[in-house]
Amino acid sequence: MIRVGYPSAIAAEFFAGFPREVEMVPLSESLDHDIDIDVWMPDPYPARSLRIAPHLRGLKLVLSLMAGTEWIPGAVGTDVTICNARGAHSVSTAEWTLTAILASLKSFPFYNGVQQAGEWKRRFEMPERYARISGDARPLYPPVMLEELTGKRVLLVGHGSIGQQIERLLAPFDVQLTRVARTARTAPRVHPVSELDGLLPDAEIVILILPLTPDSHHLIGPAQFELMRQGALLVNAARGAIVDTDALVTALHAGHIRAALDVTDPEPLPPGHQLWSCPNVLITPHIAGSTPQFAPRAVQTALDELKRYLAGKPLHNVVRPGV
């Protein structure tokens, strides 16, 4: 009998379709004793999982319910195979990305402030705001009150399952899309990340949706912000540490770029942190994947992988094999 540990916070009904030869073991975040399991589905919140990881014995396989697994190797050792939930959160994260782009271009955070103030005439602050961030000082009439996504030059940095879903959602807007990933590919053309600096100056929107690795840590730093065009929109739905926070704050305060962030570094972003009050930034607290479909999709991804494991078939979403 294979013992599979899962977060007790996830309703047992989601595991109703698991094979009979599997014993499902609910694991509370307050677990305070050692327990033997073969397979572990960690809690989506790493802090909770890290508290119980030292109590797990006999572990052979981790089936993460998340795409990101950077914290897991240090918690389980080198002899445990780790799989992620590739594809489980593609739709929700891609929808957040599209929403964040549109909200930023349509200046919804500013107009929410107009609504809260109850001052209709504040709308006439927008033409000056647009000219300041875009560098476009032409005397445009009627006054510019928002921007269009259609036809924008978009640099998509990361072209896995989420990146491909973002591309699908962007298609109706006829954007000029350039793809970047860790390695070059053809059909469709994907540039290697080594070419990123040469692509940044032309991009009006830069979307980050790649894994956090030693190579991608601070991929966007002072030099990259200098390369970005005036008024470019940086969208980070990946991991906060891919961006150098100090450099981001400097670029935002300089009025050089704008940003939409679902992830930050540090995270959680503490009260009073300077990033909260930066101009031209939209921040959500790492919620892009948290929809009602989160648990069903993630658990189904884990189930598909577990069935392959039980049948002795190759696993699909291995991010690190056990040794």
Within this chain, do residues 269 and 310 fall inside the same structural domain, yes or no? no
* Cβ(23)–Cβ(306) below 8 Å: no
pLDDT at 67: 85
pLDDT at 170: 98
Percent of the residues in the chain that have a pLDDT greater than 70, as a whole number:
100
pLDDT winner (highest mean) among 45-49, 55-59, 185-189 = 55-59
Residues 6+ apart with CB under 8 A from 35: 5, 25, 27, 55, 56, 57
pLDDT at 72: 94
Within this chain, do residues 84 and 217 fall inside the same structural domain, yes or no? no
Within this chain, do residues 182 and 259 fall inside the same structural domain, yes or no? yes
Task: Give this prediction's pTM.
Answer: 0.92
Within this chain, do residues 41 and 153 fall inside the same structural domain, yes or no? no
Question: Taking 90 as the threshold, does the pLDDT of residue 169 lie above it?
Answer: yes
The H-or-E segment that residue 2 falls in is: strand 2-7
User: Mean per-residue pLDDT for 276-302?
Assistant: 94
CB-count exposure of residue 145 (10 Å: 0-12, 13-18, 19+): middle
Within this chain, do residues 102 and 237 fall inside the same structural domain, yes or no? yes
Count structural domains, the chain.
2
CATH number, domain of 308, equals 3.40.50.720
Query: Residue with structure tokens 């648990």?
Result: 295
Nearest CA-CA partner of 312 in 61, 41, 98, 55? 61
Q: If DSSP codes are grouped into helix, strand and coil, which group holds residue 39?
A: strand
Rounded CA separation 108/6 (Å): 39
Within this chain, do residues 97 and 244 fall inside the same structural domain, yes or no? yes
* Cβ(241)–Cβ(215) below 8 Å: no
Check the CA dihedral 256-193-101-317 and report its sign: negative
Within this chain, do residues 77 and 155 fall inside the same structural domain, yes or no? no
Question: Taking 80 as the threshold, does the pLDDT of residue 323 lie above it?
Answer: no
- Residue 15's domain comprises 2-88+292-320
Q: How many residues are present in the chain? A: 323
Residue 76 covered by a domain? yes
Which amino acids are annotated catalytic? 239, 267, 286
Nearest CA-CA partner of 161 in 53, 84, 226, 100? 84
- DSSP-derived letter for residue 185 is B
